[in-house]
Structure 1
Amino acid sequence: MRKILLLLLASIWVVLVFYFSSQPPDVSGRQSRVVYMILKRLDGVLDFTQTEWYRNLRSFLEKWWFPEKKPSGEDLVRKSAHFGLYFIMGIFSFFLSYSYIRKYVFSVLMGISLPTLIAVLDEYNQSFHGRGSSLYDVIIDMNGAMFGMALAFLVRIVVELSVKNSKGGIV
């Protein structure tokens, strides 16, 4: 049952990714503007953009994701969405492959390669909807998948060690 649920969740997530990439440029722009405005209002209450942590994170992301230009806030929101979507896909891909094969090396490779393949196809799909494709976006997507897969891998190891430890096994 767990395998089917994971397969269903991963499939729904892939459909969601392709839904977003199939949006025309004006719809995609409106979606990111709405998220940006929500974050601006949230910042008005929490004032998080004035923290050193935020400034350091923004500077890091600007250098990493936009090596050739100074991005706007909406640009950062759009690239963060890429990273986040593929972060979750990396988690799903790792756990899905581990549930079937039970091999860490295979699951780590699937946690990175499957989302990266989908990212390439996603960028290609955008070209049919009046949007450009970008190698930078694929790299951001792949990085999101790697971080998601790494988190899933660590969670799996911790759970496995906890179960062994609770059963009296040697850690």
Structure 2
Amino acid sequence: MKYVWLFIKTVLRLVLKPLSFVPAIIVMYCIFNFSSQSGVSSAQLSYKVTHKLVETVDTIADLELTDAQINVYTDKYHFYVRKLAHFSEYFLLAVTVSFPLYVYGMRGIWLMVFAGAFCVGFACLDEYHQSFVAGRTPTKRDVYIDSCGIFLGIILTRIVGFIGRKTIFAPLAKKR
């Protein structure tokens, strides 16, 4: 039984550890595709999302807003939804980049530096890429917003990893 367990651990280590980077690649692909949209189609998509959010809040809070009021609130919050999308995309990227690095043993300041530099570099390349897309312009403000999402994502990964090591995986560490 001991050898079966050892075999399973070896297979998991050889197969699943390298696959832990796949979510990061998928998130990078999605970010690249969102950046490839023209300015008009990107604005339309985020406007639809904002409109749906305002309608949902109206329904949940039972505000009974008219269509004109919904449009006013949609226009008011559209900018913030777009910036929250930037923050969220890069938060998710930071988590999906930090987790595999954490699994491979990178901890502490090195995790923050390496994952942070990688994600911020990708954010800069993303803004540069937008300079070639019709109706899009690169802005430093977007990179700053992305960086805030990145920082929060890395911090969250470190906290979850620390809690996991102290609780869930502590019995496994004692077996060694």
TM-score (norm 1): 0.79
Task: Give the match for residue 154 of structure 2.
Answer: 149
Alpha-carbon deviation of 1:43? 0.7
Question: Would you say 1:159 and 2:164 are equivalent positions?
Answer: yes
Distance (whole Å) between structure 2 residues aligned to residue 136 and residue 168 of structure 1: 44
Q: Comparing 154-163 with 94-103, which one deviates more in the overlay?
A: 94-103
Say which of 48, 64, 69 aligns to 1:34.
Answer: 48
Alpha-carbon deviation of 1:114? 1.2
Distance (whole Å) between structure 1 residues aligned to residue 83 and residue 98 of structure 2: 22
AA paired with 1:18? Answer: F
Distance (whole Å) between structure 1 residues aligned to residue 61 and residue 164 of structure 2: 37
- Contact 1:123/1:138 (CA < 8 Å) preserved in 2? yes
Distance (whole Å) between structure 2 residues aligned to residue 164 and residue 138 of structure 1: 36
AA paired with 1:37? Answer: H
- Contact 2:102/2:161 (CA < 8 Å) preserved in 1? no
Distance (whole Å) between structure 1 residues aligned to residue 28 and residue 173 of structure 2: 40
Q: Comparing 110-119 with 128-137, which one deviates more in the overlay?
A: 110-119
Question: Would you say 1:88 and 2:92 are equivalent positions?
Answer: yes
Alpha-carbon deviation of 1:72? 3.2
* Equivalent runs, 1:98-113 vs 2, <5 Å: 98-113=102-117
- CA offsets per residue over residues 27-69 of structure 1, 9 Å max, x none? 10111011111101111112399xxxxxxxxxxxxxxxxxxxx
Count of residues in correspondence between the two structures: 148
Distance (whole Å) between structure 2 residues aligned to residue 167 and residue 73 of structure 1: 48
> Over aligned residue pairs, what C-alpha RMSD do you find?
2.2
Distance (whole Å) between structure 1 residues aligned to residue 170 and residue 126 of structure 2: 43
Alpha-carbon deviation of 1:115? 1.1
Task: Give the match for residue 54 of structure 1.
Answer: none
Larger radius of gyration: 2
Task: Give the match for residue 60 of structure 1.
Answer: none
Task: Give the match for residue 140 of structure 1.
Answer: 145
Stretches of structure 2 that go unaligned for 5 or more consecutive residues are 1-14, 64-74
Task: Give the match for residue 16 of structure 2.
Answer: 2
Distance (whole Å) between structure 2 residues aligned to residue 136 and residue 47 of structure 1: 33
